[in-house]
Chain A
Amino acid sequence: MFLRPWNFIPHNTKIDFVAKRWWGFSATLLLTLATVISLALNGLNLGIDFKGGILIEAKAPQAVDLATLRGALGSLNLGEVTLQEFGSPTDVLISVQRQEGDETAQQRAVQLIREKMGTSYEYRRVEVVGPTVGKELFQAGVLATFFAVLAIAIYVGFRFEWQFGVAAFTATLHDVLVTVGLYSVFQLDFNLTAIAALLTLAGYSINDTVVVFDRIRETLRRHKATNLKDVINDSVNQTLSRTLMTAGVTILALLPLLISGGPTLFNFSVAITWGILVGTYSSIYVAASFLLYMPPLRRIDLKKK
């Protein structure tokens, strides 16, 4: 054997997850509260995809003097113009608020900015989103997230029992909400890519929850006499090694993207990484623990088999 497996992941654990659920519930409550408070106070830093407006990424031959450029663009009277260094000192990201009036006003503003900045810049990215499309994209994004979570829960409800569906729905919604909270607390640019991140982590989170549920169902069938607390504890412990391995491997795969994927994908990678952590945690402390407070599962399950 040229390479022996190294069984470093803990197994045969007997952690009493259910007894520690109050810690979990407190953490959940804290995260949810933080999200709600931050949303109420800071709101979301909506990107131009949803708010409408102009985004220009430009590269100069030498380091950009942000103050001078800010002054020059400020003199155009285009309302709020923000400049930030983007990845390197020669790169600048300019975002301009949505212009009053219709789509032609946005186009005119872009022309003005280009004229002001001159031809020495390389325009790496120009995005202009008019008011109509921004609103539509936002609605479509919110709808997509909501329906995705709902559809997943309905599927779980059919495959298992409805109690599992409700628990999965709550857990996934929790993960999505708490990640929206991450965007709000750190005022990350909430754009179309953020929606993709939310839906991806919804998929991951439910994936993780389903694995735990699957084991709970199996244990229920096998040991009819054991009480639900023990069933949940056993199931979570038995799947723990898999949970840690998969979460670890996925984060490992994302790590290079996080470090060197470039500024465009940075927020995306952060959100997904956070989502994996939260999703793993919520499978145990939101989804599984939630089952304890639901009408009994045992009898329904027994009737079937």
Chain B
Amino acid sequence: MLYIERWKTYFIIAVCLFGVLYASPNLMGKQTLAWMQANLPSVLPTQTVNLGLDLRGGSYLLLQVDLDVVIEERLQSLLDQIRGDLRKAKVGYTDLALKDQKIRFNVTDQASGSAVKTLLREVDNAMDVHVEGTSFVVAMSEAQLFERRRLALDQSIEIVRRRIDETGTREPSIQRQGDDRILVQLPGMDDPERIKNLLGQTAKLSFRLVDEAASMDPTQRVPPTAERMPSQESDRQNWVVQKRVMVSGDMLVDAQPSFQEGSPVVSFRFDSQGGRRFGEATRANVGRLFAIVLDGKVISAPVIREPILGGSGVISGNFTTQSAQDLALLLRAGALPAPIKVLEERTVGPGLGADSIKAGAYASVMGLVLVIIAVFITYGGVFGAIANIALLFNIALIFAALSFLQATLTLPGIAGIVLTIGMAVDANVLIYERIREEIRLGRSAIVALDAGYKHAMSSIIDANLTTLIASILLFIFGSGTIKGFAVTLSIGIVASIFTGVMLARLLTVWWTQVARPKVIPI
């Protein structure tokens, strides 16, 4: 006899109710949902399916942070320090250079070896130091490298977030990916040009004195304490500025775009320490030129007319309103520790997204209707209805699970649902064909039903588990939209086992209890 324990019955009904409850917000309009969120108790679900960027439109950017730059910079500053200390200690050395992330040099006098070791330890205790005769190799330890890279990536993510937030982009998602990558998703963004532009600059700002003695002719040599830099104002001009930084951009607390004599400028304010330093530097150098340097280019180099003591000032230059706004934004958000480049970009406009949803929804509904008709024709009014009810609950459960897990539904994901519709029916097909076989073998109605369910079970489980394995691997190795597809497919498989086997079985039991059939209409 077909029999289902009472707790199982309740369980099946409960799952179905939850499915309908959690799927229902997807059928409601935006306004109804907003009203529900505001007025109904919060235990009731109001979350809808999270649409992927390919459906709702938006921009997906995969960024790579050039973390080697951070390491090189750190090593360069160590090298400068070592050079200074060696000179101070009057140790003779040759070939001091940075190569392959290692600092190498030779000591001319072998006797000074131990002194050099102590000296290096004082510079940075955690460095790996290799000594071979008179040659020294200094490198960062694995732990140090790892830690610095991790810190730089975290900091980059933070700066990227601040810059994107400052542009007013809604609901951006910024995630770390792997060792040196950042995944940025910007829903609704159909032209990420400005964002890419903003992220493409490290925005390291410094105020330095111009070396007015040096020649402006780019073929001439510059003194070792200075460097030649192009000007942002005109391509042909260049400046020779001192390497020593008077005040750097990390001491800024605020920057805003404004206007001065009708032209766009950026006004800024230092923190108290920066303000004091800026005041001292300007007081000591009245009448000289000071350069405002951003990422290796001189924005402008005005004359210091009088000491600037208030801790605030104005950067003028060849700005448009937009570029002044962008510079102010970059300065407020802070400098990136390393340059960033865009490895992968996928942008979908709102038009295509809407069209995709429309096409996908139409195809799914049509597919569903076709399948329902075919099932009715093949298995008749009773068993066709049971299979079709199970199918409808299957779809409700998929949407409920997607909403509940806040998984992302992508265009391939819709295709996954369509495919699930076809495959969800398979469980019932297996059972029904088996029941037909049992009837042909001459079994009585109830025995045939029972045997059909029992014998079909191992095929159903094996068949679905294998598909589940494929979709889990798809999730592990897949990326972006493919992951979304895998999630949908996995949910669909689990849901179809539940509805195809448990729910359909319960419905069949109820039907036999009510109809007490002598013949199975299948």
Binding site for B on A (CB under 8 A): 1-9, 11-12, 57, 59, 102-104, 107, 110-111, 114, 122-130, 132-133, 137, 140-141, 143-144, 147-148, 151-152, 155-156, 159, 192-193, 195-196, 199-200, 202-204, 206-208, 210-211, 214-215, 218, 238-239, 241-242, 245-246, 248-257, 260-262, 264-265, 268-269, 272
- Cα separation A160 to B423 with both chains bound (whole Å): 23
B345 on the A face (CB < 8 A)? yes
Contact A137 B479 (CB under 8 A): yes
Task: Kindly list 15 other residue pairs between chains A and B, CB separation below 8 angstroms, not including A6-B378, A155-B469, A241-B433.
Answer: A5-B380, A123-B191, A140-B477, A152-B469, A192-B478, A192-B480, A204-B419, A207-B426, A207-B466, A239-B433, A249-B371, A249-B375, A253-B419, A260-B362, A268-B415
- B356, B430, B465: the one contacting A262 at CB < 8 Å is B356
- A125, A195, A264: the one contacting B347 at CB < 8 Å is A125
Tell me the smallest distance from the CB of B384 to a CB of chain A, in Å: 7
- Cα separation A8 to B433 with both chains bound (whole Å): 12
Q: Assess A245 versus B433: contact at CB under 8 Å? Given A124-B352, A192-B481.
A: yes
Tell me the smallest distance from the CB of B168 to a CB of chain A, in Å: 21
- B352, B363, B379: the one contacting A257 at CB < 8 Å is B363
Contact B478 A140 (CB under 8 A): yes
Nearest to A215 among chain B residues (CB) is B459
Nearest to A141 among chain B residues (CB) is B477
Which A residues are CB-close (under 8 A) to B412?
Answer: 193, 196, 265, 268
Q: Assess A127 versus B346: contact at CB under 8 Å? Given A143-B477, A147-B477.
A: yes
Instruction: State which size class the interface on B falls in.
Output: 35 or more
- Cα separation A7 to B433 with both chains bound (whole Å): 10
Q: Assess A207 versus B342: contact at CB under 8 Å? Given A1-B380, A107-B196.
A: no
Q: Would you give 29 A-B contacts (Cβ < 8 Å), ordered by A?
A: A11-B436, A59-B351, A107-B345, A111-B193, A125-B346, A126-B345, A127-B346, A155-B465, A192-B479, A196-B474, A196-B478, A199-B471, A207-B426, A207-B464, A208-B463, A210-B466, A241-B436, A246-B429, A249-B426, A253-B370, A253-B418, A255-B370, A257-B367, A257-B418, A260-B362, A261-B360, A264-B356, A265-B411, A272-B419
Which B residues are CB-close (under 8 A) to A218?
Answer: 455
Q: Assess A148 versus B419: contact at CB under 8 Å? Given A127-B346, A249-B375, A261-B363.
A: no
B181-192 CB contact bits vs A (8 Å, 1 = yes)? 000000000110
B68 on the A face (CB < 8 A)? no
B359 on the A face (CB < 8 A)? yes
- B190, B345, B374, B418: the one contacting A254 at CB < 8 Å is B418
- Cα separation A108 to B428 with both chains bound (whole Å): 55
Q: Assess A245 versus B356: contact at CB under 8 Å? Given A122-B351, A148-B470, A203-B467.
A: no
Secondary structure of the A contact surface, majority rule: helix
Which A residues are CB-close (under 8 A) to B196?
Answer: 107
Give the total number of A-B pairs whose CB atoms are below 8 A apart: 255
Contact A124 B436 (CB under 8 A): no
Nearest to B365 among chain A residues (CB) is A256
B355 on the A face (CB < 8 A)? yes
Which B residues are CB-close (under 8 A) to A195?
Answer: 478, 482
Contact A242 B429 (CB under 8 A): yes
Tell me the smallest distance from the CB of A45 to a CB of chain B, in Å: 19
Nearest to B455 among chain A residues (CB) is A218
Contact B342 A107 (CB under 8 A): yes
Nearest to B475 among chain A residues (CB) is A144
Contact A250 B422 (CB under 8 A): yes
Tell me the smallest distance from the CB of A69 to a CB of chain B, in Å: 18
Contact B481 A7 (CB under 8 A): no
- Cα separation A108 to B104 with both chains bound (whole Å): 39
Which B residues are CB-close (under 8 A) to A239?
Answer: 433
B348 on the A face (CB < 8 A)? yes
Tell me the smallest distance from the CB of B61 to a CB of chain A, in Å: 9
B1 on the A face (CB < 8 A)? no
B473 on the A face (CB < 8 A)? yes
Which A residues are CB-close (under 8 A) to B356?
Answer: 262, 264
What are the 4 closest A-B residue pairs judged by CB atoms, nearest first? Answer: A250-B422, A5-B380, A144-B477, A256-B366
Contact B473 A147 (CB under 8 A): yes
Q: In B26-57, which residues have CB < 8 Å from any A CB? A: none
- Cα separation A214 to B348 with both chains bound (whole Å): 45
B2 on the A face (CB < 8 A)? no
Contact B482 A200 (CB under 8 A): no
B218 on the A face (CB < 8 A)? no
Contact B384 A256 (CB under 8 A): no
Q: Assess A262 versus B355: contact at CB under 8 Å? Given A144-B476, A203-B466.
A: yes
B333 on the A face (CB < 8 A)? no
Q: In B310-355, which residues have CB < 8 Å from any A CB? A: 341-349, 351-352, 355
B13 on the A face (CB < 8 A)? no
- B343, B384, B419, B486: the one contacting A103 at CB < 8 Å is B343
- Cα separation A104 to B64 with both chains bound (whole Å): 12
Contact B381 A2 (CB under 8 A): yes
Which of B343, B377, B425, B436 counts the most A-chain CB atoms under 10 A from its CB?
B343
B376 on the A face (CB < 8 A)? yes
- Cα separation A47 to B81 with both chains bound (whole Å): 51
Which A residues are CB-close (under 8 A) to B464?
Answer: 207
Q: Assess A192 versus B384: contact at CB under 8 Å? Given A144-B474, A202-B470, A256-B362.
A: no
B255-275 CB contact bits vs A (8 Å, 1 = yes)? 000000000000000000000
- Cα separation A159 to B483 with both chains bound (whole Å): 28
Which B residues are CB-close (under 8 A) to A152?
Answer: 466, 469-470
- Cα separation A129 to B60 with both chains bound (whole Å): 11
Contact B462 A126 (CB under 8 A): no
- Cα separation A242 to B430 with both chains bound (whole Å): 6
Which A residues are CB-close (under 8 A) to B370?
Answer: 252-253, 255-256
- Cα separation A156 to B348 with both chains bound (whole Å): 41
Q: Assess A254 versus B422: contact at CB under 8 Å? Given A133-B343, A147-B473, A193-B412.
A: yes
